[in-house]
Structure 1
């Protein structure tokens, strides 16, 4: 009898242990959690719902009088350094809201700010004045800090690429300095601001749709210019330092041919011009050779050589300032002058 009781007790104990193990197995594994970054701003960012892109729908429209473009001036006692500032009718700036980088295209001002007179730069005056003013006209601060280096490092494979991106999209040094980003929306405008007291810069972008202004030059356009002014200015592209016409300029050559074939009495002088890069003698030779190349391309298309003349003037007749890239581009030209 005693052996029977012991056997029953042993079986009961084994059943209880088996049930306990089963219950333990059913408890899901608890993973340890930890706060990766204790920065309050970072924690606030992580609470936001991450979307695919910045949304202007979340920005309230301001009804304040925001004035006229560029909508902001330096604080009293400070000036725009025009020698280090640039204005663009159509360019781009990149903004950052703590989660997303987004690019706006449109009218751009990149302003470098200096003190009026020989005075020490005042960071706090700059920051306080700008922030208070922008808030007063309804601009929303979307980021105020230094952009994390792990994000800026993604702009390129090496420092040169990173700084190239920065100079293309930012008015100031956002790799090494903090930046304040604001957006401003009215009923018909979307405006972005980049503010950096450390870089002493203000970047302003007013969003506008891109409008293509380039149109195909036609035979009629060339003839009209010749009849109205006596000559037509064309920008025919050649290989750098050579007289070989690039493929993208053969459409212009075709239009010159059409004009000449439709106006059989017309005779023209083809005149080549260069910018001031290089020496005067080599530029003179280059311009003559380029004009001759255009002449030969026309005769290859059946235009009688007796109706054509070619000449080169090198860098001797600039129409713009050769000290700027824009001026040099305009000086590199071919003129068709009526004989």
Structure 2
């Protein structure tokens, strides 16, 4: 079963002054893809234009003005979780304007791997398929950074992380992306995004980040 739907996200970041920002990246969307043995679904959250809101300004209760605040991936991610997307949802992808506007080094997508494996899952191929569509209309170069959990020794995990990033690279090249646009590297077990104390956390660390 696959259920696809879209939703609008209007997120507010409160500052210490009497000033409120709405997130403000134009024409951008975040697609979340999630799958397990029983269900697959995709959510697309559109990030709308930002508005700066001044409260209690003189004789005016509220003044609105277009703002320049840029929502970060971490900020948007938290809003998505609060909107009902499970934290266990294993794969995500920034689409549309984000690919063109993201600064170098920001994560645009993650794909995940089974324990001690470097082969791509069907869910990973789905995410990479969206990356391929975007890259064919965009000149952006990508860094593919492989990671592992902490099971095994550091040297082995470094090699495993590299195999994973190279697996992603080969898949992209086989679908028409030029090799000179891709740089495969490894961080091994040294950059976890979750603890390695249990299996669910380790699953999050077995990944390639596409930047």
Provide the TM-score with structure 1 as the length reference. 0.33
Higher helix share: 1
For 2:190 and 2:108, locate their aligned partners in 1 and report how far apart those are by CA, in whole Å.
Answer: 16
| Larger radius of gyration between Structure 1 and Structure 2 | 1
Q: What secondary structure sits across from 1:231 in the alignment?
A: coil
Is 2:158 the counterpart of 1:297? Answer: no
**Which of 161, 175, 192 matches 1:318?**
192
Aligned in 2, Cα 1:220/1:320: closer, same or farther, shift over 3 Å? Answer: same
* Structure 1 residue aligned with 2:161: 287
- Tell me: CA distance 1:255–1:271, structure 2 relative to 1, closer, same or farther (3 Å): same
Q: CA deviation at 1:320?
A: 2.6
Hey, what's the Cα distance between the residues in 1 that align with 2:143 and 2:96?
18
1:234–1:333 Cα contact (<8 Å) kept: no
Give the corresponding residue for 1:247: 122
Among 93, 106, 111, the alignment partner of 1:231 is 106
Select 1:257's aligned residue among 89, 113, 132.
132
* Equivalent in the alignment of 1:336: 210
What is the CA–CA distance in structure 1 between the aligned matches of 2:98 and 2:118, rounded to whole Å? 22
Unaligned runs of 5+ in 2: 1-83
> How far off its partner does 1:333 sit?
2.2
User: Larger relative contact order (C-alpha < 8 A, sep ≥ 6)?
Assistant: 2
Q: Is the 8 A contact 1:284 1:314 kept in 2?
A: yes
Cα gap change, 1:252 to 1:312, in 2 (>3 Å):
same
1:1-339 maps to which residues of 2 (within 5 A)? 217=93, 219-220=95-96, 223=99, 227=102, 230-232=105-107, 234-264=109-139, 266-337=140-211
Q: CA deviation at 1:239?
A: 4.1
The answer on whether the counterparts of 2:109 and 2:209 sit within 8 Å (CA) in structure 1 is: yes
Q: Deviations over 1:13-40 (max 9, x none)?
A: xxxxxxxxxxxxxxxxxxxxxxxxxxxx
Q: Is 1:272–1:335's contact at 8 Å kept on the other side of the alignment?
A: yes
Partner secondary structure for residue 335 of structure 1? strand
Q: Which runs of 5+ in 1 are unaligned?
A: 1-210
Q: What secondary structure, in the 3-state scheme, does the structure 1 residue paired with 2:190 have?
A: coil
| SS of match in other structure, 1:303 | coil
**Does the Cα contact within 8 Å between 1:270 and 1:294 map onto a contact in 2?**
yes
How far did residue 222 of structure 1 move? 5.9
Matched pairs, number? 126
RMSD over aligned Cα atoms: 2.8
Describe the SS at the equivalent of 1:241.
coil
Q: Is the 8 A contact 2:92 2:109 kept in 1?
A: no
Task: Identify if the C-alpha distance between structure 1 residues 286 and 301 changes in structure 2 by more than 3 Å, giving closer, same or farther.
Answer: same
